[in-house]
Structure 1
Amino acid sequence: MLYAANPRQLFGRIPMRFSVLMQMRLDRLLGFPGRFRSLEDGLNRVLGLGLGCLRLTEADYLSSHLTEGPQRVVAHLYERQLTLEQLHAAVEISALHSGDHGLEVLGLLRVPLYTQKDRMGGFPNFLSNAFVSTAKCQLLFALKVLNMMPEEKLAEALAAATEKQKKALEKLQPASS
């Protein structure tokens, strides 16, 4: 997980706090950059970086999560805080030149770490997307342990996203007669 402190405000009034990068995959699932290779090789391939100054090490290790289901995989999460300039220039711009861009990876996106007045816009809406494997769990875990978002705000956003998904499923159910 690559992220940077972001002092800017959305619409001149909503604090951004941090910019956290995730990627949209070709299968329309959100996840963190990486592969089933070494972490560095995976990030280099996905982001199109010659990691140089952004090289991740054991010191950047945050956690591991085991996936459930037919293919059991251990997903390792590494984190690195960058400056906002590094995040944009060294990562977001470089990703456009990655060999996977437009093929396996549709692009990078910044996680909206705010909730709008309607209590749904922003982060809660983002959480109602589909995530690959353990990416949603890893995101929530990292935001909590890195003190990027208060635990009660994470719980509120997750509850709102779950409610939105529940309502969407109810709309798909045929009306009983």
Structure 2
Amino acid sequence: MTEATKDERPIIQIPRCLQIHTVTKSLISYADSLKYHSTYQLAAHACIWAPTQRASLFGELRALVMMHLRFDGTFGFPGGLIEPGEDAVIGVNREMAEEIGWDSAVHAVTWENYHSSQVDHDKKLVLHFFITKITESQYVALEKKCLSAHEYGNEVFGTIRVPLYTMPNLYSGLPAFLNNKFVGTAKQQLLLMLYHMNIMTEEEISDVMYKSQNLKLAPNRF
């Protein structure tokens, strides 16, 4: 998708298990988001991920998906507020350079990576979300650079890999991870990303959501 054609892209497909009010109410097309650009604050975040296919002691590693622990104790994706007059793509690359040591000269986020837009009328905020695929070796190198990023220890308190497996007790792994606190709609963005990048099927996501909510108090969850 080019910068010109992003205006024509429809709202992303939402799997049935995520067709809930908290997800659907805020999603808008990029074209519709433009009407708020002059009066609302703009923000942009990106999900950085790498495909992998190997087993671990705890479950199958299907992909490496990066999130980080924020200064406020919640999990979110790299990115942040866009400066007045700044293009969203330029802004998200700048924010990621500050937060995780992202080098846009090596693998820049572009409008080809645009995924979705959301609006929060209460906060007067428009959020643009991008998904960028890199190689596993690039991902590992980026993890190491995160420790020397300008905002590490200030805005960012740690970079993590999302555990994309469910352990034999049916709770540990991704179901347990989803019970953390996420900033804004980051949890929904994560699940939509897993679906749209074909990392997990709709049935698998639905099953994980069920286990996350219904097994969190099970006595054998550890």
Q: TM-score range, shorter-chain basis?
A: 0.7 to 0.9
Q: Deviations over 1:104-161 (max 9, x none)?
A: 1111100011111111010000100000001011111111111111111111111222
Would you say the 8 A contact 2:93–2:102 is kept in 1?
no
> Residue 78 of structure 1 aligns with which residue?
130
> SS at the partner of 2:73?
coil
Consecutive unaligned residues of structure 2, counting only runs of 5 or more, are 1-46, 83-90
> SS at the partner of 1:98?
coil
CA positional deviation for 1:26 = 1.6
Would you say the 8 A contact 2:75–2:182 is kept in 1?
yes
Consecutive unaligned residues of structure 1, counting only runs of 5 or more, are 169-177
- Counterpart selection for 2:81 from 36, 43, 52: 36
Question: 2:181, 2:49 → 1: CA distance?
Answer: 21
Q: Which amino acid aligns with 2:111?
A: E
- Counterpart selection for 1:15 from 48, 55, 60: 60
> Residue 27 of structure 1 aligns with which residue?
72
Q: Deviations over 1:31-68 (max 9, x none)?
A: 00001021111111111233212111100101112346
Q: Which amino acid aligns with 1:143?
A: L
Tell me the TM-score normalized by structure 1: 0.86
Question: 1:83, 1:102 → 2: CA distance?
Answer: 26
Aligned-residue identity in percent: 32
- Counterpart selection for 2:105 from 47, 52, 60: 52
Question: 1:107, 1:17 → 2: CA distance?
Answer: 22
Question: 1:50, 1:84 → 2: CA distance?
Answer: 16
> Residue 170 of structure 2 aligns with which residue?
119
- Counterpart selection for 1:135 from 159, 175, 186: 186
Is 1:104 the counterpart of 2:149? The answer is no
Would you say the 8 A contact 1:22–1:111 is kept in 2?
yes
> SS at the partner of 1:85?
helix
Question: 1:65, 1:158 → 2: CA distance?
Answer: 22
Is 1:155 the counterpart of 2:201? The answer is no
Question: 2:168, 2:204 → 1: CA distance?
Answer: 13
Question: 1:52, 1:164 → 2: CA distance?
Answer: 44
Question: 1:50, 1:2 → 2: CA distance?
Answer: 13
- Counterpart selection for 1:2 from 35, 43, 48: 48
Would you say the 8 A contact 1:75–1:134 is kept in 2?
no
CA RMSD of aligned residues (A): 1.7
Moved over 3 A (4+): none
The worse-fitting range, judged by mean Cα deviation, of 140-149 and 152-161 is: 152-161
CA 1:82 to 1:75, structure 2 compared with 1: closer, same or farther past 3 Å? same
> SS at the partner of 2:144?
helix
